Copies of this chain bind each other. A is one copy, B any other.
Amino acid sequence: MTEVEKTLDNKSVRPTAMRILIYKFMASKNTAVALTDIENAFDKAERTTLYRTLKTFEEKGIVHQIDDGTNISKFALCEPGCNCEIDQDLHLHFHCGQCDKTVCLTEHKIPQINLPQGYIAEDVNLVIKGICDSCNDH
């Protein structure tokens, strides 16, 4: 059993060939990926399979979905310290308008926000748009 298989198994996700491939692909990227990105990375990839795989991954806490304002859902592997579900530990995301890549800034936590009376927060999404360090170099 490989590392990846163990990881999936730990999260109660059956480590099928496709899932392992998808996981490895995402692990090889340091940016959040769209469904289409994965689809294009493999010759014979089925949209539906990817769609449902990512959904499963998300439910089991293997990846988290990112909404970076492009109206295209992105996904990124959860790192060991990534407690997506717990309000207090949400990191923020950065979307580069030049290379169109979205990255997790895991070390940057979202500060506590006080809401008006009567509002209950369940989830927080903070995306900063701008120029990333790679694009900034040029």
Q: Tally A residues with Cβ within 8 Å of B.
A: 35
**With contacts A92-B113, A105-B115, A108-B113 known, is A129 near B124, CB below 8 A?**
yes
Any B CB within 8 A of the CB of A57 = no
Selected contact of A131 from candidates B119, B124, B133, CB within 8 Å: B119
B122 & A131 in contact (Cβ 8 Å cutoff):
yes
Total copies of this chain within the assembly: 2
As a 0/1 sequence over residues 106 to 124 of chain A, the CB contacts with chain B under 8 angstroms (1 = contact) are 0010110111111111111
- Report how far A53 CA is from B107 CA in the complex, Å: 40
**With contacts A67-B69, A113-B92, A115-B128 known, is A120 near B105, CB below 8 A?**
no
Which positions in A face B, CB cutoff 8 Å?
67, 69, 71, 73, 92, 94, 97, 105, 108, 110-111, 113-134, 136-137
